[in-house]
Amino acid sequence: MNRSRWLAVALLSLSLGLLSGCGSTPKGDEAGADGADGKGVGRLGGSSANLNDPSRAGSGAGGYRFDVNVEPEHRIYFDYNSALINDRSAQVLAHNAGWILAHGPKGTITIEGHCDERGTREFNLALGQQRADAAVRFLVAQGMPANRLKAVSFGKEKPLVPSHDDSAWSKNRRVEITLR
């Protein structure tokens, strides 16, 4: 219920143009190599990105404007076979952390890791866990209490887009911040 409310608000936000840019998805890049763009945060959480201070939201290099009165987009996306958090995802996560700390509900927040359908069930379960764990580490680094965050992998079990092409896959390789 909460989750659908989040989604509704996020969609509303998009429609109002408050979140310009954040709803766009990465290209269906199958390069697969970690850090192919030379930027971002490694799998191990060894953060090297310059994080935006949520209090100075709106100054991000990506032109991501953050309005503390509106929920941020609650999904981030990944390259194929990668758990790397790229710059845009880092911004989204940082803004989520800021929003949750300032306005969010109390209690546990589930960080769901998802994959596209390619590859095996078990490898994708592990990859989804890596994606969720990477997001959790990032959120903790942003000041979120670790004991409020729970990383859960769904592997390739719950695609966001149920088709079988690059466009669908790019949206299915994701982490979702959910309230349960």
* Nearer residue to another protein within complex by CB, 11 or 44: 44
Question: Whats the size of the chain, residue-wise?
Answer: 180
* Nearer residue to another protein within complex by CB, 33 or 102: 33
CB of 116 to another protein, least distance (A): 11
CB of 64 to another protein, least distance (A): 29
**Max intra-chain CA distance, the chain:** 42
CB of 138 to another protein, least distance (A): 14
Residue with tokens 């592990």: 126
* Nearer residue to another protein within complex by CB, 74 or 131: 131
CB of 125 to another protein, least distance (A): 5
Cα 5 vs. chain centroid, distance in angstroms?
18
SS3 helix, strand, coil % of the chain, rounded to 5?
Answer: 35, 10, 50
* Nearer residue to another protein within complex by CB, 97 or 151: 151
Secondary structure (DSSP) of 39-92: -SB-TT----S-PPPGGGTT--TT-----TTSPPP-EEE--TT---B-HHHHHH
Residues that bind another protein (CB under 8 A): 32-34, 43-44, 81, 110, 117-123, 125-127, 129-130, 133, 150-155, 157, 162, 164, 180
